[in-house]
Amino acid sequence: MVPLLIALMAGVGFVVAYHTYGRWLGGKIFALSAKAVCPSYRLQDGADYVPTSKGIVFGHHFTSIAGTGPIVGPAIAIMWGWLPALLWVVFGAIFIGAVHDFGALVVSLRNNGQTVGDIAGRVLNRRVRLLFLLVLVMSLTIVLAIFGLVIASVFRLYPAAIFSCVVQIPLAIGIGVWLHRKGASILVPSLVVLALMYLTVFFGDRGLLGAFNHALAGWSSWTWVLVLLFYSYGASVLPVWTLLQPRDYINSLQLISALALIVLGLMASAFFGGAPLADSSRPDLSMAAPLINLDPKGAPLIFPFLFITVACGAISGFHCLVSSGTSSKQLMKEPDARFVGYGGMLTEGFLATLVILACGAGLGLGLAVEGQMLTGAEAWNNRYGSWGAAGSLGAKVSAFVFGAANFLQALGLSSTASIALMGVLVASFAGTTLDTACRLQRYVVQELAATLSPGAGGLEGQKAGGLLRWLQNKHGATIFAVMIAAGLSAVPPAGKAWSVANAGTGGLLLWPLFGATNQLLAGLAFLVIVFYLWRRDRPVWFILLPMIFMMIMPFWAMVWQVFIGSSDNSSWVSQGKVLLSAIGLATILLELWMIVEAVRMFPKVKGVIEETAMGLDGGAVVDTAKAWTKSVSTVDLSIRSISAIC
C-alpha cells in the first residue's frame, strides 16, 4: 500500500500547491490581469503569435517540457534511494520548478513573447544577453542532436510503437487545417485520433502493420536522425495551428489517459497484487528499491548529482525556453499563465513521481530474465546492479516501461499491449520535445543573428550583417539549426570509422554536458526573473534561494566533472576529453561572468524600470520606480501599472 499512498499524497500535495502557492504568485507577485493585452493579440501573425485557449496551450506546453526528461532522470536517480528522488521531485517541482516555469512565462508575456535570453539584455545588460543566447544555442544543439537518437532507440526497443507515432503527424495536420477553417472544437477529433493510435498499438505486432513496424525499426540511427530532423524543420516553420498545437493536444490527452491507467493499475496492484505468475499467485506491491542508498556502485556523489540527474521532473532550464519561446506567444489572457506554467510543471512532477513508483515498485511485480520470472528485490537488483548498468538510455527507459506495464497488467491488459502503450508514450513525448526544440532554436538563432547584424552596433556588426542576415529569416535560421545538429549527430562513436551504420550517435559526445548546462540555464532564467521583479519593486525573497541553489549545484557538478571526477580518476581532464573539458570550462567562466555582472547591477536597479521595457504598443516605457509603491492605499494603481507593462 505504500506506493499507492505515495502517489495519492503527492497528487494531493500538487493540487493544494496550485491553489495556494500558485494563486499567491499569480495574484500578489505577478499581479496577473485579465484586462492586459497579450502578445498573441498585439502581434498576431497567424504563424507564431496565435491567440489560443489555455487548454490547447497547456497541451503544447506540457508535452514539450515533458519529453523523456521526467522519465530517464528519476529512473536513474532512484539508485540513491527512492526517498531522496521523491523529495526532490515533489518539493523541487512545487517551490522551484513551477516558480521557474511560471515566472519565465509571465516575464515573456510582458516582453512581446521574447525568450529569456533576449529579455536578459533588457533587465540586465547587452553582454549578459549575448552570453545567455550562446548558452541557449549550445543547449538546444545538444537536444536536437540527441533526441533523434533517443527516438530511434525507443523504436528499436518497442517496434509496435512506430506506426502509432508516425500516423499521428498527418492526422494532426488534418485536424489543424480543418479546425482552422471551421473554427470547431479540437476535443472530439483529437479523441478520435487518440483512439486510432491506441488501436494501432494493440495490432502493432501483427500482420502487415507488424511487418511495417519491424522494417522501420531496422533503420540505422543515422537514417532516423535525418528523417526526424527533416520533420523538425517542417514543424518549426509551419504555423503553430497546423501541426504543433493539434499534435501536442493529442499527446496531452494520451498522457492524461496513460497517467490514469498507471494510477488505476497502481490501485489494482495495491489491493489485489500484480498480474498472476506461473503458479497463479499475485505478487504483492511494495517498494523493491532501497529507501536511501548514499553509495550505489559506480555512482557519483548524491550531492550535487541528484539535482542534476533529476531535471525535468523537478526543474529544468529547457522549460524556460518553452515558456518564453512558444507558450507566451499563444496565451489569450494573463491569468492563463498560472494554469499553463505553474500547473504544467506540477503535472510533470506527478509524472516523475509515477516513474519513481514504476521503477521502485512496478519492476518488483515481475521481470522476465532468460526464461525466469524475477520479483521483488531480485527484479530490482537485476536492472539496477550498478550505475553503469542502469545508466544507459535503454536501461533507463526500459525500467520505466516494464515497471509501468506491470501496473497495467494488473488491470488485465496483456504484456505486449501494456509495453507497447508505454513505448508509445515515451516516443511521442520525445518527438514533441524535438520539434519544439527546433522551433526554439530558430528563435534563438534569429535573435543572435539580429544582435550581430547591422544596427547591433559597431563596425563588426555591420560586417557580419551580410553573412547573418539570412539567419534572421525563419527558414535560414531553421536550416542552420538542423544542419548543425545533423553535423554533430554524424560523428561516429570513438575509435570507429564513419559509416551509415556508425553515424547518428555524435550527440552523445556532448551529452555529459547537458545535465549541468541545463540546470545552469534554470539558474540564469531565475536571475532574469529576479531582476524583472526587483526593478519593479516587487518581492524577490521567495525566488532568491532557488536561484542561488540552481547556480551552485550545476557549477559544483561541472567543476567535479571537468577537474575532479570520482576516485578512479575519471574527470574529463584526466580522460583527455579535450572538447568536453574546454566547453565545460567555458561554461564555468560564463556563469561566473554573468554572476559578476548581476552582483554589480543588483543594488543599483531596485525600483528602476528598464528604459527599454515593453509597453502595450511594443514601445518603451519611461516610468521609473516613482510610479511604483508598496503603500496599501495604492495597490490598485500598482496593479494597473504592472498590467500596462504587458
* Residue-wise pLDDT tens digits, 487-499: 988 888 777 788 8
Domain total for the chain? 1
Residue 438 has pLDDT above 60, yes or no: yes
Note whether residue 351 is domain-resident: yes
**133-142, 165-174, 227-236, 336-345: least confident range:** 133-142
509 lies in a domain?
Answer: yes
Looking up residue 272, the CATH number of its domain turns out to be 1.20.1740.10
For residue 410, the enclosing domain spans 2-604
Q: How confident is the model at residue 134 (pLDDT cuts 50, 70, 90)?
A: confident
Q: Indicate whether 566 belongs to any domain.
A: yes
Whole-angstrom Cα distance, residue 318 to residue 323? 9
Contact 423, 157 (CB under 8 A): yes
Global confidence as pTM: 0.90
Is the per-residue pLDDT at 460 higher than 70?
A: no
Band the pLDDT of 569: cuts 50, 70, 90. low
Give percent of the chain with pLDDT exceeding 70: 92
Q: How confident is the model at residue 618, as a pLDDT?
A: 37
Ranges 28-42, 222-236, 622-636: which has the least confidence: 622-636
Phi, psi of 406 (to 5 degrees): -65, -35
Which pLDDT does position 388 carry in this prediction? 76
**CB proximity list for 604: less than 8 A, separation 6 or greater:** none
Mean pLDDT of 106-119: 92
Tell me, what's the pLDDT at 511? 79
Sign, Cα dihedral of 294, 298, 303, 307: negative
In a domain? residue 613 = no
- Torsion angle defined by CA atoms of residues 98, 515, 219 and 383, in that order, rounded to the nearest 10 degrees: -90
- Is the per-residue pLDDT at 147 higher than 60? yes
Where does the pLDDT of residue 307 fall: very low under 50, low under 70, confident under 90, or very high at 90 and above? very high
Residue 454 pLDDT class (50, 70, 90 cuts):
low
- Of 222-231, 454-463, 589-598, the poorest mean pLDDT is in 454-463
To the nearest whole number, what is the mean pLDDT of the chain? 86
Amino acid 293: pLDDT: 94
C-alpha cell at 127: 553582454
- CA–CA dist 326, 49 (Å, integer): 8
Q: Is residue 641 part of a domain?
A: no
- Whether residue 635 is predicted with pLDDT greater than 90 in this model: the reply is no
pLDDT for position 634: 31
pLDDT given at position 523: 93
Question: Residue 458: its pLDDT value, please?
Answer: 40
Cell 548546462, located at residue = 517
Q: Which of 341, 439, 443, 339 is nearest to 113 (CA)?
A: 443
In a domain, 617, yes or no: no
Residue 645, pLDDT > 80, answer no
For residues 423-429, give the mean pLDDT.
87
Q: What pLDDT, on the 0 to 100 scale, is given for residue 40?
A: 96
Does residue 342 sit within a domain? yes
Residues 165-205: pLDDT tens digits?
999 899 999 998 888 887 777 888 898 988 988 888 888 88
**20 domain residue, yes or no:** yes
**Range from 215-224, 303-312, 382-391 carrying the lowest mean pLDDT:** 382-391
